[in-house]
Amino acid sequence: MRSMSRDESHAASELHALPRRSMTVRRACTIWAGLALAALVVFAASLATGSVSVTPAQALAALTPAHGAPDMATEIVRTLRLPRALAGFACGALLALGGALLQVLLRNPLAEPYVLGVSGGAAAFALVAMIAGVAWWGVQASACAGALLSILLVLGLARRELWRGEPQDSSPRLLLTGAVTAAGWGALITLLLTLAPDTRLRGMLFWLTGDLNGASAPWPALVTLGVLLACIVPAAPMLNVLLRGDAAAQALGVPVLRLRVGIYLAASLAAAAAVTTGGTIGFVGLVVPHMLRLALGNDQRMLVPAAAIAGGVAVMGADLVARTVAAPAQLPVGVVTALAGVPVFLWMLLARRPR
């Protein structure tokens, strides 16, 4: 087995080298409660803020069953803002959850779903459906098919790294395979945009940059989020052990092979569900888990649920900014997350002091 370079060793051990902080049930619940409160505040602001002003009382009344004919404020909240806010929370939570899982799987803080080409496959297949003029459900089905194809492609090309991880390794082959796959999907997307009719080009560009304007059905993404959390949270103690390496995890009785495959599939499913709901929204799966890890510690029992809540807050907040900063015009939410994510991530890199 080849010897690893200093840079690879540093990247592979950075997650394990973070300061360990005692994580009690009380401290974890306090963190989750604080993030949940922030989510409620941003959710309420998303319902009440927009090009048409809605008072908090009107927004609350719109969420309760009405016996009479609904007024304009109720229609705006129920048909436009409520589905969009729920879709934003689901997309952000799924992306952050997928990023946290992949960073554990690859033992690399730079891993996230988009690095492995999942979003590229979903976007390419969705653009084909848009050019063909199929219905919205056909676009979503095509995006799911593209995401699954990208998953299978990366699994097949990098199966050695997935089925048998090298000790103290950041799985560089898997990361490079995903990056090359994403580059290939990007070239296909450019070709599709070149061939697309002008009447559909604007909608395609908005979707590629992340657009929640047409997210009228957030329930599939919310159900997917609930199922993934129910499966991943009980396995969080094993994720802590897996960070120490495959050999140590196997010695402690952790089913490494099954756990690695389950993590990868769960992260890929989370990314696919997010892409089909809100398009390609970048930097959430990379920045949110990494920031929480630096601030709160690396205990996966706390980090996995916290990343999901914080990711939802981040995308809901970015969508709120996208709807209000240039009202009545609406910006793609992916542009806002990128503009905020790039300086935040650069700040985190510069703030990290070498050990």
Comparing 282 with 235, the larger pLDDT belongs to 235
66 pLDDT band, cuts 50/70/90, is: low
Which uninterrupted H or E stretch holds 96? helix 82-105
Is 10 strand, coil or helix? helix
99: closest CA among 316, 246, 346, 308? 308
Helices 256-278 and 136-157 pack at an angle, to 10 degrees, of 150
Comparing 132 with 232, the larger pLDDT belongs to 232
The string over 193-226, giving b where at least 16 C-beta atoms fall within 10 Å of a residue's C-beta and e elsewhere, is: eeebeeeeeeebebbbbbbbbbbeebeebbebbe
Q: Sign of the C-alpha dihedral, residues 272, 86, 52, 68?
A: positive
Percent of the chain with pLDDT over 90: 22
Other CB atoms within 10 Å distance of the CB of residue 17: 11
Angle at 107 between CA 276 and CA 308, to 5 degrees: 40
* pLDDT single digits (tens) 241-257: 888 877 888 888 888 88
166 pLDDT band, cuts 50/70/90, is: very low
Question: Would you say residue 165 has pLDDT above 50?
Answer: no
pLDDT at 11: 45
Question: Would you say residue 101 has pLDDT above 60?
Answer: yes
pLDDT at 312: 95
pLDDT at 89: 96
Least confident range from 6-15, 92-101, 149-158: namely: 6-15
* pLDDT single digits (tens) 110-130: 777 777 787 788 888 888 888
Q: What is the mean pLDDT of residues 127-143?
A: 80
Percent of the chain with pLDDT over 70: 85
Residue where the block lists tokens 């540093």:
10
Tokens representing residue 146 in the block: 């593209």
Query: What is the C-alpha end-to-end distance of the chain, expressed in Å?
Result: 27
Q: What is the mean pLDDT of residues 23-40?
A: 91
What pTM, to 2 d.p., does this model score? 0.84
The 8-class DSSP code of residue 329 comes to: S
Q: What is the mean pLDDT of residues 7-21?
A: 48
pLDDT at 352: 58
The string over 86-122, giving b where at least 16 C-beta atoms fall within 10 Å of a residue's C-beta and e elsewhere, is: bbbbbbbbbbbbbbbbbbbbbbbbbbbbbbbbbbbbb
Q: What is the mean pLDDT of residues 215-237?
A: 90
Q: Between the ranges 53-57, 161-165, 289-293, where is the mean pLDDT highest?
A: 289-293
Comparing 304 with 343, the larger pLDDT belongs to 304
Question: Would you say residue 60 has pLDDT above 60?
Answer: yes
Residue where the block lists tokens 């900014």:
321
Question: Would you say residue 170 has pLDDT above 50?
Answer: no
Torsion (CA) 186, 188, 193, 194 in degrees, nearest 10? 120
- Domains of the chain in sequence order: 25-58+79-351 (1.10.3470.10)
Strands (DSSP E) found in the chain: none
What are the DSSP calls for 126-155, one per residue? HHHHHHHT--HHHHHHHHHHHHHHHHHHHH
pLDDT at 353: 54
Question: Would you say residue 19 has pLDDT above 70?
Answer: no
Q: What is the mean pLDDT of residues 55-80?
A: 76
What residues contact residue 257 under an 8 Å CB cut-off, 6+ apart? 163, 164
Comparing 263 with 173, the larger pLDDT belongs to 263
Tokens representing residue 34 in the block: 């604080």
Q: What is the mean pLDDT of residues 186-192?
A: 91
Residue 306 φ then ψ, to 5°: -65, -40
pLDDT at 171: 58
Question: Would you say residue 271 has pLDDT above 90?
Answer: no
30 pLDDT band, cuts 50/70/90, is: very high
Helices 284-296 and 300-324 pack at an angle, to 10 degrees, of 130
Mean pLDDT computed over every residue of the chain: 80
Tokens representing residue 214 in the block: 């047409």
Least confident range from 164-173, 209-218, 268-277: namely: 164-173
Comparing 160 with 217, the larger pLDDT belongs to 217
The string over 40-58, giving b where at least 16 C-beta atoms fall within 10 Å of a residue's C-beta and e elsewhere, is: eebbebbbbbbeeebeeeb
